[in-house]
Amino acid sequence: MPTVAAQAPASSLRAPLASSLIEVSEDQTVAVGKAQLPLTEPHLAANPRNAGHLVGSVIVVTRPDLTERSCSALASFDTGRTWKTHDFAVKACGDPYATILSDGSALVAMLGTVADTTHLIIFRSPDGGLTWSERAVVIPGQHDHGTLVVDRSGGAFSGNVYAVSQGSARDAAGRRRQATMVARSSDGGVTFAQATPIIPGNLWMTAMNPVVLSDGMLVVPWGNFGRIMADGEFAWLARELDWVVTSADSGKTFSTPLFVSDACGRTFPVLATDASAGPYRDRLYWLCNDRTFEHVYLHYSADRGSRWSEPVVVNQGAGREPYARTAAIAVNRNGVVGITWYDGRADKTGDVAFRCQELFFTASLDGGRSFLPDVRVSSANNCAVTSANGEAGRRWPAGGDYHGLVAAADGSFHVLWSDSRSGVYQLRAATIRVKGQAAAGGK
């Protein structure tokens, strides 16, 4: 498809804002496709060696009742000023997730239905999103919530790509159990080994996104939301239980489960790590919502997941009736922790579950112990429940189960989100710069 120009250059910055340390560009439309179809659940990746190179992915809702969905990729080589898009021929596409390898090639993982089974499907672009392989790598089996991470440590496993998803496996007694699945590629995503299960159990396991530490240690997270009862019915747990495991041998063996938190609530937490050379190098960050969407919480670990902090409230400027959800996190080259989320603080009239929302951003310069005053990123209200959005507005009242936030090679943050100000979910993007760098002093 042709290159599409954005409405405003990402370099034009809005000022002044609530914090003099945070500058936010004018948000701009990112066009995908010809028809005004709802675009939901975008993800975004940044090239670690080229600040101008970004690759994203998004669900395209092709029927209002959600019975038909496709996915598209988008790539920019000029810091988000223009984008090239590509449509994937995948039925019932969902959970698209992008990454860029050190050589500039790109991968997009997604769920797709083949013979009535939801497989994890991975497409590769050798030129960073200009062209995509026609044949995908299919990781067979029933999968959900697939994500990717690249080992950039420079160590023995550097360059490996890990695909993590929710699946199932049989235990020693032959019973089928929920499991977090890990598949590894040692050739840049050209092929993947068969997905292997991590500690199958009788609780409902939802896999989250993995990270890799500076020595190549792989950290794989998941959340336990519920369990399957004796009659086969699903039942919610009173509290969500969140965990990580680590692997020092490229996913061949894993540690015992390390408990993170029970403060999150039936949402999709996000895991991040500090890859900078600063005072918080290899610190882990766990970001989530609480069950009532009153708070965005951040937990941090300074010892590779063995111990975690109490939850720190991120959305401190939300007021007395907060409504915050679908948060994203990234850590830049200066060790600055950036967080974005959908926020309904300005809408006091509608159904609390479907408030009109705006996108907000804040940052931490001390390893997640405290945050700068939050600032608004979006320039208009986003109301999900519209006739043009159809069921997508109710299924994804905050644009999806996630949105895109990355730290570019120059230290700037780029955010990509679904915005319904026009009545239909479309993509918008902004660039955020935080003055300063992480300072020592926290534990």
pLDDT tens sequence for the chain (443 residues):
333 333 333 333 443 344 589 999 999 999 887 778 999 999 999 999 999 999 999 999 999 999 999 999 999 999 999 999 999 989 899 999 999 999 999 999 999 986 677 789 999 999 999 999 988 999 988 889 999 999 999 999 999 999 999 987 777 777 778 899 999 999 999 999 999 998 888 888 899 999 999 999 999 999 998 988 888 788 999 999 999 999 999 999 999 999 999 999 888 999 999 999 999 999 999 999 999 999 999 999 999 999 999 999 999 888 777 889 999 999 999 999 999 999 999 887 767 778 899 999 999 999 999 999 999 999 999 999 999 999 999 999 999 999 999 999 999 999 999 999 999 999 999 999 999 999 987 55
Quote the tokens at residue 387.
């006739």
Q: In sequence order, what E strands does 274-357 have?
A: 284-289, 296-301, 312-313, 324-331, 337-343
Domains of the chain: 4-434 (2.120.10.10)
Binning the chain into helix, strand and coil, the percentages to the nearest 5 are 0, 45, 55
Adjacent-strand bridge partners of 279: none
Distances (CA, A) of 181 to 6, 133, 166, 171: 38, 24, 6, 14
Quote the tokens at residue 133.
């392989």
Report which of 112, 66, 113 is spatially closest to residue 395, judged by C-alpha positions: 66
Quote the tokens at residue 374.
């939050």
Amino acid in the structure at residue 368: G
Q: In sequence order, what E strands does 91-143 have?
A: 94-100, 106-114, 117-125, 137-139
Q: Residue 133 contacts by C-beta under 8 Å, 6 or more apart in sequence?
A: 123, 124, 125, 126
Count CB atoms within 10 A of the CB of residue 332: 27
Report which of 370, 376, 363 is spatially closest to residue 437, judged by C-alpha positions: 363
* Residue 225: exposure state from Cβ atoms within 10 A (0-12, 13-18, ≥19): buried
168: enclosing H helix or E strand: strand 161-170
Instruction: Identify the DSSP state of 295.
Output: -
How far apart CA 39 and CA 274 sit, in angstroms, is 30
Report which of 389, 375, 347, 367 is spatially closest to residue 434, judged by C-alpha positions: 375
The values of phi and psi at residue 352, to 5°, are -60, -30
Query: Considering the entire predicted model, what is its pTM?
Result: 0.93
How far apart CA 413 and CA 328 sit, in angstroms, is 11
